[in-house]
DNA sequence: GCCAAGCTGACACTCACCTGAACGCAGGGG
DNA sequence: CCCCTGCGTTCAGGTGAGTGTCAGCTTGGC
């Protein structure tokens, strides 16, 4: 999916863009409405993430203008918690969904997938790894047909691997993913959670690459 | 599908009716609540499109009256942007969905198809969960053959789960669903209603996934 | 054999969740 | 008009699952 992100806050913008890319989508990031209008004229997007407060205007005006041209691209609005009236205005102007700041990046991923599903018509995308089935949108994992219950952290870690099937991931990378930036973890948390995942899903779900990190394994003995 | 359109604006009404017909459904168009009441007594509809501002009364009153007679016909409310309180009233009165004016006729078609799918012409749209039977169109739940009475909120919450059987739903998602887009609820309402549902329907109807949300339990059909 | 890197079982602490109870409010009947 | 009932919502106390940390053990490289 090709996603246009309209957000002027540099920190949030970068975080969201990284998440989008990490989810395997293409991301165009602009910080002003003028650039956004240029972008939507230049290319077709599958989804637009729209901040409401921007330096050169209000997002809802942009949205209304977009809709008036007949453009039906799904638009997800990013709002602060106290901008209730603006949010309603955005929905009435034709937004399809909204997210309240500060939002969870996981929730963002889930919503983006939901949009993709709605407009692509296909049901839930299943990822298969040997006898393991992963439903990313439902956050459920089955092994040999049996549903395996994962905790929040376990799922977060596992999702990181599933989303980048062949990529090697270092422990600092994974820590960053699990704990954003602020939290400081000075222990072997990742090792512990890798162990817990292996216990629940089989020893070969995650492969250790000594001195470098981990990557998704090849359960079922396929290769 | 047979659809009743209650809308006094001639331009919008005609457009919507034409769209309905173009989609291959049957359309009855009335402009006043009196006519609407007459229509629902005379024939059974698969869907009612209901404007809230009508010359001879408020749509939400019509809806409440309809529900009080036990009529469970799906109702989609058509609202203008500044009728926020009315919109909430309508949802509380038992609306299944709503569309904000001005809306895309394309979206209208999509929503109608969604309703059609949800209540797909099977004579018995029964969902079975262990010893629990759910009739979405009749808004009734039976447990071990015994009908269980759910309140409006309880049903709204339960329906959210039943409609997406395997989907994990976060508390913010569920709050959205129950309270539309306006209310800022900072409390444990969802927890309370989950507890009440469990009390009425059994502890395992809804499964808690700590830190992530809830999903439908698997009293008999998980695996 | 030695060292570094990774594995794992155990454990205390926290907080997300559960739950009973109380309050406000609206609707209906007396 | 007022009381009564039922629903929705809030609150506070208690609890356990989830989490991070650590110590001791295993594995792999040289």
**DSSP secondary structure string for all residues of B27-45:** EEEESSHHHHHHHHHHS--
Per-residue pLDDT of B184-216, as tens digits, reads 556 789 999 999 999 999 888 999 999 889 998
Nucleotide nearest to B188 (CA to C1'): D10
In this prediction, residues B56-72 reach a mean pLDDT of 76
Name the residue with higher pLDDT: B91 or A80: A80
- pLDDT for the residue A195: 95
Closest chain B residue to the Cα of A156, Cα to Cα: B212
- Find the Å distance, CA of residue A17 to C1' of nucleotide C3: 42
Q: How many C-beta neighbours within 10 Å does residue A211 have?
A: 6
Q: B147 and B140 in contact (C-beta within 8 Å)?
A: yes
- Find the Å distance, CA of residue A17 to C1' of nucleotide C29: 61
List the structure tokens of A140.
């459920």
Interface size A-B, in CB pairs within 8 Å, comes to 48
Superfamily of domain B2-118: Response regulator (3.40.50.2300)
- pLDDT for the residue A199: 94
Closest chain A residue to the Cα of B218, Cα to Cα: A147
Per-residue pLDDT of A163-210, as tens digits, reads 877 789 988 888 878 886 555 667 789 999 999 999 999 888 999 998
- pLDDT for the residue B124: 43
Report the mean per-residue pLDDT for chain B: 76
Tell me what ipTM this predicted complex has. 0.56
Nearest-5° angle of CA B36, CA B38, CA B43?
95
CATH of domain A126-216: 1.10.10.10
Three-state DSSP class for residue B55: coil
The H or E element that residue A151 is part of is none
Q: A62 and A20 in contact (C-beta within 8 Å)?
A: no
Q: How confident is the model at residue B182 (pLDDT cuts 50, 70, 90)?
A: very low
Calculate the CA B139 to chain-centre distance.
Answer: 9
CA-CA distance, A123 to A110, in Å (whole number)? Answer: 14
Q: B219 and A129 in contact (C-beta within 8 Å)?
A: no
**Angle, helices B152-163/B189-201, rounded to nearest 10 degrees:** 80
Least confident of A89-98, A111-120, B137-146, B171-180: A111-120
- Min distance A153 CA to chain B CA atoms (Å): 9
Residue with tokens 């309270």, as numbered in its chain: B179
> DSSP secondary structure string, B118-186?
HT-S-S--EEEETTEEEETTTTEEEETTEEE---HHHHHHHHHHHHSTT--B-HHHHHHHHHTTT----
Q: Which of residues 141-160 of B touch strand D (CB under 7 A)?
A: 149, 151-154
Q: B178 and B151 in contact (C-beta within 8 Å)?
A: no
Q: Any idea which fold A2-120 has? A: Rossmann fold (3.40.50)
Q: Where are the domains of chain B?
A: 2-118, 126-216
Chain D footprint positions (protein CB, under 7 Å)? 6-12, 17-23, 28-29
Name the residue with higher pLDDT: A106 or A198: A198
- pLDDT for the residue A206: 93
Look at residues A145, A124, A143 and name the one whose alpha carbon lies nearest to residue A135: A124
- Min distance A108 CA to chain B CA atoms (Å): 12
Name the residue with higher pLDDT: B221 or A160: A160
Q: Reply yes or no on whether the pLDDT at B73 is more than 90.
A: no
List the structure tokens of B197.
């549902």
């Amino acid at each position: 999916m090709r996603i246009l992100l309209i957000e002027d806050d540099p920190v949030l913008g970068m975080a969201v863009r990284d998440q989008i890319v990490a989810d395997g989508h293409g991301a165009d990031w602009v910080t002003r409405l003028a650039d956004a209008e240029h972008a939507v004229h230049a290319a077709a997007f599958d989804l637009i993430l729209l901040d409401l407060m921007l330096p050169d205007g209000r997002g809802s005006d942009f949205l209304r203008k977009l809709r008036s041209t007949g453009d039906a691209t799904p638009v997800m609005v990013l709002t602060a918690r106290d901008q209730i009236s603006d949010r309603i205005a955005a929905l009435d102007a034709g937004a399809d969904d909204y997210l309240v700041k500060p939002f969870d990046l996981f929730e963002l991923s889930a919503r983006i997938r939901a949009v993709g599903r709605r407009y692509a018509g296909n049901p839930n995308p299943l990822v298969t790894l040997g006898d393991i089935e992963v439903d990313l949108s439902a956050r459920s994992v089955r092994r040999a047909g049996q549903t395996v219950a994962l905790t929040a952290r376990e799922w977060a870690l596992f999702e990181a691997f599933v989303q980048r099937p062949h990529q090697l991931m270092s422990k600092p990378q994974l820590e960053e993913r699990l704990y954003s930036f602020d939290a400081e973890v000075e222990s072997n948390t990742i090792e512990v959670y890798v162990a817990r995942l292996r216990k629940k899903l089989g020893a070969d779900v995650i492969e250790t690459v000594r001195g470098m990190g981990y990557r998704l394994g090849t359960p079922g003995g396929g290769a």
